[in-house]
Structure 1
């Protein structure tokens, strides 16, 4: 009877230890979930850095548009095809040259 109670106490201790290990590794907030969340955080931080760079570029573009005429003229030339008086417009084709024989 004495050994049986010691065995049951040991079995209970092992069961508690296994339960705690399961909770640590595989539980709702366990180690694997923690690693997965850390990976997601790193990915999101990379995306955030890209957005910060894009936002800074847009911020400088807005500043240039508000404070200088050069940026407005550049946008008008590129986007709207601005040609000032006494300027000559030259368009270069980038289409491949094909030769046909008839």
Structure 2
């Protein structure tokens, strides 16, 4: 009688553990999904670090030199130096055929 109870109990325990592994809370599929989410977050974090480094470099340029300030004033604000002329050439997006 005892001979068949132990293997049966071990088989039931093995079945329960397999069910928990594949279909229970925090199963293998959840683990795989979480790994993908983690990889995506690492990629976003790397992109944000690159952006931050670029911003810090631009801040350092603006603090250290007047050339960066002058370039920014010219490109964003349209400022010109005294005795200097500014020309803006605008291309027609819809040229008419003649």
Q: Same fold (TM over 0.5)?
A: yes
TM-score range, shorter chain: 0.7 to 0.9
Q: Is 1:51 matched up with 2:40?
A: no
TM norm structure 2: 0.85
State the 1:7 CA deviation: 4.4
**Higher mean C-alpha deviation, range 41-50 or range 11-20:** 11-20
Question: Equivalents in 1 of 2:36, 2:84: separation in Å?
Answer: 56
State the 1:74 CA deviation: 0.9
Match of 2:20 in 1: 23
Structure 2 alignment gaps of length 5 or more: none
Match of 1:96 in 2: 93
| Aligned counterpart in structure 1 of residue 38 of structure 2, from 37, 41, 65 | 41
Larger of the two Rg values belongs to structure? 1
Superposed CA offset, 1:9-40 (max 9, x none) = 44332221111011122222222221111111
State the 1:95 CA deviation: 2.2
State the 1:70 CA deviation: 0.7
Q: How many residues align?
A: 98
**Higher mean C-alpha deviation, range 71-80 or range 24-33:** 24-33
